[in-house]
Amino acid sequence: MLAVIMLVILVAAVGAGWWLAASRRQYPKVALDVLADIRKRGLRAIWGDEPVTNWYIERRANGEPIGWRLEARVRLEDGRYASTNVKRLGAKEYVESWILDDTACTGQYEAMEYTLALRQGQTSPMRRPDAKTTITLNNAQVRIRRGIGRQTLTGAGPAPGNYIPEGLTDLVMFETATRGQKTSFQILLNSQAIQGRKPRFATITADPEGKQVIRTSIGKAGEIITFDKAGQVLRTTAPDSGRWSEKSTAELVAKIDPDAKRFAQLAPTTAPTTEPATAPALDDKSANTTPPTETQPEKSQYDGQQLP
């Protein structure tokens, strides 16, 4: 009997060790295959021709709404895809626009960060620009420009094979989830995108938890993303903080923030302003090789008034 018990314990220990090793195993080639497959099929075969507009409500762990975001995408007449995304959290607003060709090999991206202030008698908040980031992808090279106040950083360099172009993250994560194998990609985080006049890529780990669920992590920060069968994001949860967002409607978002109505008819038909031919040169005299200090958003009269 003792021998049987010891055998069971041994088998259980071996099984646990195998499971732990398997759970930590990554398959680097999966990342390359996902991106190669998307490019081979083309975005039109995946996204189609119809415009897409999605609204989301951002919530604390207890369900209290703290913000919202809007994602709108269209296919342009020349076959490229353009998108404009707006996100509000308290007194901060983020506006992103990107454009990608059908193979996701060439694209431009522009992001603006604002602090909001609602003055007495106003119905819409004033926006104070805090930072601007532009990223251009062309011939497997990225060029980055980031400005904060009067300080500007520029950088350029080759994109790794597992780099996710701006605007493609959700699609890449969905395609990775369907494959069921853990892997990792490289992305650019706006506030940390340049180091020594070169791109500073961050590693994002993608660990499928089902055909339509994936756990992602960048360092210690992680999210669990749930998709519908078409690849649209339904829900995003941050396990550490408990914050989460869910797909919603323009009407429900407007009840949280009436100012959101201004974006209801948003049509992302304008590409980002930075084109490859006009991207800033690396010897731009306005460039500063010392990264500017990013500060926390100031307390605003808008903070908490319409987004509790």
Do the domain assignments include residue 153? yes
Q: What is the pLDDT of residue 203?
A: 97
Q: What is the pLDDT of residue 287?
A: 40
Which secondary structure element, helix H or strand E, spans residue 37, and what is its range? helix 28-41
Q: Which domain holds residue 242?
A: 27-278
Question: Token pair for residue 252?
Answer: 């429900």
Taking only the tens place, the pLDDT of each residue in 8-20 is 566 555 454 544 4
Do the domain assignments include residue 57? yes
Q: What is the pLDDT of residue 265?
A: 72
Q: What is the pLDDT of residue 24?
A: 61
Taking only the tens place, the pLDDT of each residue in 178-230 is 999 999 999 999 999 999 999 999 999 999 998 999 999 998 889 999 999 99
Do the domain assignments include residue 45? yes
Q: What is the mean pLDDT of the chain?
A: 84
Question: Token pair for residue 123?
Answer: 């119905």
Q: Lowest mean pLDDT of 20-24, 44-48, 132-136, 250-254, name the range.
A: 20-24
pLDDT confidence bin for 269, thresholds 50/70/90:
very low
Do the domain assignments include residue 295? no
Do the domain assignments include residue 302? no
Question: Token pair for residue 296?
Answer: 């926390």
- The proportion of the chain whose per-residue pLDDT surpasses 90, expressed as a percent, equals 69
Do the domain assignments include residue 85? yes
- Count the domains in the chain: 1
Instruction: Find how far residue 9's CA is from the centre of its chain.
Output: 45
Do the domain assignments include residue 287? no
Taking only the tens place, the pLDDT of each residue in 95-108 is 999 999 999 999 99
Taking only the tens place, the pLDDT of each residue in 26-37 is 899 999 999 999
Do the domain assignments include residue 12? no
Q: What is the pLDDT of residue 121?
A: 67
pLDDT confidence bin for 124, thresholds 50/70/90:
confident
Taking only the tens place, the pLDDT of each residue in 128-170 is 999 999 999 999 999 999 999 889 999 999 999 999 999 999 9
- Cβ atoms of 133 and 190 within 8 Å: the answer is yes
Q: What is the pLDDT of residue 103?
A: 97
